[in-house]
Structure 1
């Protein structure tokens, strides 16, 4: 499924030639949307191209994608803690999550904030390799409480660290305990049981699976989990790396399995945001929702006690159900921050036990990366999520974090949305994806 020529021309106009190969999630439609975006702080960041360390200012700027109320409050409180401990004020430049990701390339090429929020793994390594991020290896020398696994996820291809992790969260199938108790539902452990449960939920007047894909990324989670269950972790990461063919029978089986599940999904998903889908679960109109732990942000404190989850059931007994998506969020430094010293002080703080404990107190929908933090305040949901991640045999970062950004944004998002609209042409779908993959991965 090729992009319309007009969109390709728009991409060429908006993205500098030096980063045209980087890509992003879908561009804002029309020049009016792009023009309006120029008024946000994102493209105009507070950073500078001056030599690092040239400023002795008591300020540092932070580019944040945490725009929903709860995580936005967490960042504000952490920055308050940073000011109290260092005397340095962090000026927060918050941009809504999707706009942030859609424009990250232009942002980093221009004058970004001194520190910016981003993702571990492939996405971090990609920008580090492009020279769009600063080396923070010396910061890691001052950090404690972060595991070797987190350090590996923060390390670029050159062996240096470019990322400081702050939190992570697993994807799972969420449900309300009161609803399941009312109807006598039990957690399924096989795909057949999952399908039978969905059929019963339909009879009981529920949408079995809350679902939304207006923003393009939620469907990636469904593809991830089905591919992990059908084909296993190694095939999944190799497919994301461009090493396996999308036209293989293995990939076709993923889409065939998904097609069988689509009747259980909430209809009209392409016009619905993930928050709206979460509200259908909150309002007891849907029986289940496959999403990240952040779904808890859409529930009140009392309702969170009624929220539970299970990992997606096994499809192939030889593969099992131990692999999952558990993306890591955190911070990176611009390649030329206005004050490198202040930026690194901020990174040292956000990776600290103190910052982690601020997050624990405020946000029940995340897990902190620092193992030294007091997590006695974790809710039952958080404790169970931490145990789930701890018991996983393999952990993926999420589709658009495990592959090239341009492939995820310009090929996979429209392909999965096309599949949702027309699930009956799997051969045409995978052929289109493979042809575009070859072009992108060989460029």
Structure 2
């Protein structure tokens, strides 16, 4: 499977600059189809029983394990119970564990509803028959653009996903630190290198960095590939249509190699939260991450948080493309109670659910355009404008390619590069050989 060429057009128009109703946080990690059997880590509460159950409960598999998003999900589910009289039972699993075991989870007895991602990742499991058709739910939803509906549609034209939120990736920094030092937002890669060198002289880690969990470095690869080679090459590479051994991909890694000295050292032993804390503690000058970085800042400190889109590398390509992943919900192929599952999915796609999220989580942007976003922070408003002004939007590397390729090939390859960036040719030959095997299987 590959992403349709038209996806660039519709994702680029997910949110017009004048509208603040957009999308979300939660991370993504390594992948799914290669998970080990029998781990027991995603037990699930669902069954393969008849969907006509009159039970007043519904189970939800949640990957929102960090404290703030976990709290917000609990409030959304409490709102559903009040509105419907159906008791939601939340099965929360560590985010990375959820991703790594998703394939086995869905083939076993998953929860009635589970959290997942739009894009290739959603279509992959829908095509395998591991998700329930939500086309009738979409007939009852309002507040979504056609773009969101397309991002929720499988290869067969049916909807399998209800978007809750999405969030842009950008370079975050503390305004007070930059004002004190007189730093200026870099417009080009040369500017970024010059700024990084100055930050080093000033005793800062120029770029906070972490890759213990495997997925954060994907964001760096994505943005460099988008800046150096453009959106279409990026999605074609993710779909297995371009060679990893090409000069274009080599240039991405050569450029990244040049930036590595500016990155926080020992990244393979650090979580994204720890890297974010170095920014929060004013020990690092910048951090390329999603809007969820705000989770590591107090409400007062968030007023001091700002961002810019990664600077231009090639003037003919510009700096308008970005990663802005969409998060939401899917239904198991045979939920214990299909009626209750669909009631829950209607609710999480509603204005009411979006309003609860806006009131309780400053690190996300809601997907439902009908939500009351007057309570957005300045950071959220700026994030919505950034997404609205983008010319192309990618879903993040491990959502734009096959799950098994992302987890078993790309994660170890990027970590190997970070550990030893000298043998780029050997690394890319290895990726290409494994890609050929996976994409032809």
Using the size of structure 2 for normalisation, the TM-score is: 0.92
Deviations along 1:146-178, one digit per CA (max 9) or x if unpaired, are: 111110110000000000000000000000000
CA, structure 1 residues 16+282, in 2 after alignment: closer, same or farther (shift >3 Å)? closer
User: How far 1:37 moved relative to its partner?
Assistant: 11
For structure 2, list consecutive stretches of 5 or more residues without a partner in the other structure.
none
1:14 partner SS: coil
CA, structure 1 residues 4+355, in 2 after alignment: closer, same or farther (shift >3 Å)? closer
CA, structure 1 residues 401+211, in 2 after alignment: closer, same or farther (shift >3 Å)? same
Separation in structure 2 between the aligned mates of residue 429 and residue 68 of structure 1, nearest angstrom: 33
Q: Which structure is richer in relative contact order (CA contacts within 8 A, separation 6 or more)?
A: 2
1:372 partner SS: coil
CA contact (8 A) 1:43 1:110 kept: no
CA, structure 1 residues 70+386, in 2 after alignment: closer, same or farther (shift >3 Å)? same
2:185 partner SS: coil
User: How far 1:44 moved relative to its partner?
Assistant: 2.0
1:410 — aligned with what?
Answer: 408
CA, structure 1 residues 118+5, in 2 after alignment: closer, same or farther (shift >3 Å)? closer
1:3 partner SS: coil
User: How far 1:75 moved relative to its partner?
Assistant: 0.5
CA contact (8 A) 1:168 1:326 kept: yes
Separation in structure 1 between the aligned mates of residue 434 and residue 18 of structure 2, nearest angstrom: 20
2:42 — aligned with what?
Answer: 43
User: How far 1:21 moved relative to its partner?
Assistant: 37
CA, structure 1 residues 130+280, in 2 after alignment: closer, same or farther (shift >3 Å)? same
CA, structure 1 residues 209+157, in 2 after alignment: closer, same or farther (shift >3 Å)? same
User: How far 1:42 moved relative to its partner?
Assistant: 4.8
CA, structure 1 residues 286+22, in 2 after alignment: closer, same or farther (shift >3 Å)? closer
CA, structure 1 residues 155+335, in 2 after alignment: closer, same or farther (shift >3 Å)? same
User: How far 1:348 moved relative to its partner?
Assistant: 0.1
CA, structure 1 residues 15+49, in 2 after alignment: closer, same or farther (shift >3 Å)? farther
CA, structure 1 residues 86+37, in 2 after alignment: closer, same or farther (shift >3 Å)? farther
CA contact (8 A) 1:41 1:93 kept: no
1:202 partner SS: helix
1:221 partner SS: helix
2:245 — aligned with what?
Answer: 247
CA, structure 1 residues 279+69, in 2 after alignment: closer, same or farther (shift >3 Å)? same
1:91 partner SS: strand
CA, structure 1 residues 64+415, in 2 after alignment: closer, same or farther (shift >3 Å)? same
Range that drifts further, 247-256 or 39-48: 39-48
Deviations along 1:283-333, one digit per CA (max 9) or x if unpaired, are: 000000000000000000000000000000000000000000000000000
User: How far 1:43 moved relative to its partner?
Assistant: 2.9
Deviations along 1:366-422, one digit per CA (max 9) or x if unpaired, are: 000000000000000000000000000000000000000000000000000000011
CA, structure 1 residues 212+137, in 2 after alignment: closer, same or farther (shift >3 Å)? same
Separation in structure 1 between the aligned mates of residue 282 and residue 109 of structure 2, nearest angstrom: 46
Deviations along 1:74-131, one digit per CA (max 9) or x if unpaired, are: 1000000000000001000000100000100110010000000000010000000000
Separation in structure 2 between the aligned mates of residue 267 and residue 162 of structure 1, nearest angstrom: 41
CA contact (8 A) 2:13 2:388 kept: no
User: How far 1:210 moved relative to its partner?
Assistant: 0.1
User: How far 1:19 moved relative to its partner?
Assistant: 41
User: How far 1:26 moved relative to its partner?
Assistant: 19
Separation in structure 2 between the aligned mates of residue 21 and residue 127 of structure 1, nearest angstrom: 27
Separation in structure 2 between the aligned mates of residue 245 and residue 334 of structure 1, nearest angstrom: 35
CA, structure 1 residues 226+433, in 2 after alignment: closer, same or farther (shift >3 Å)? same
CA, structure 1 residues 354+27, in 2 after alignment: closer, same or farther (shift >3 Å)? closer
Separation in structure 1 between the aligned mates of residue 127 and residue 18 of structure 2, nearest angstrom: 13
User: How far 1:5 moved relative to its partner?
Assistant: 38
Separation in structure 1 between the aligned mates of residue 403 and residue 154 of structure 2, nearest angstrom: 16
CA, structure 1 residues 347+21, in 2 after alignment: closer, same or farther (shift >3 Å)? closer
User: How far 1:52 moved relative to its partner?
Assistant: 1.8
CA contact (8 A) 1:23 1:410 kept: no
Q: Pairwise CA RMSD of aligned residues?
A: 8.8
CA contact (8 A) 1:24 1:102 kept: no
2:34 partner SS: helix
CA, structure 1 residues 429+366, in 2 after alignment: closer, same or farther (shift >3 Å)? same
CA, structure 1 residues 404+190, in 2 after alignment: closer, same or farther (shift >3 Å)? same
CA contact (8 A) 2:16 2:388 kept: no
Deviations along 1:264-291, one digit per CA (max 9) or x if unpaired, are: 0000000000000000000000000000
Aligned residues: 441
CA, structure 1 residues 9+89, in 2 after alignment: closer, same or farther (shift >3 Å)? same
1:34 — aligned with what?
Answer: 33
Range that drifts further, 13-22 or 415-424: 13-22
CA contact (8 A) 1:42 1:112 kept: no
For structure 1, list consecutive stretches of 5 or more residues without a partner in the other structure.
none
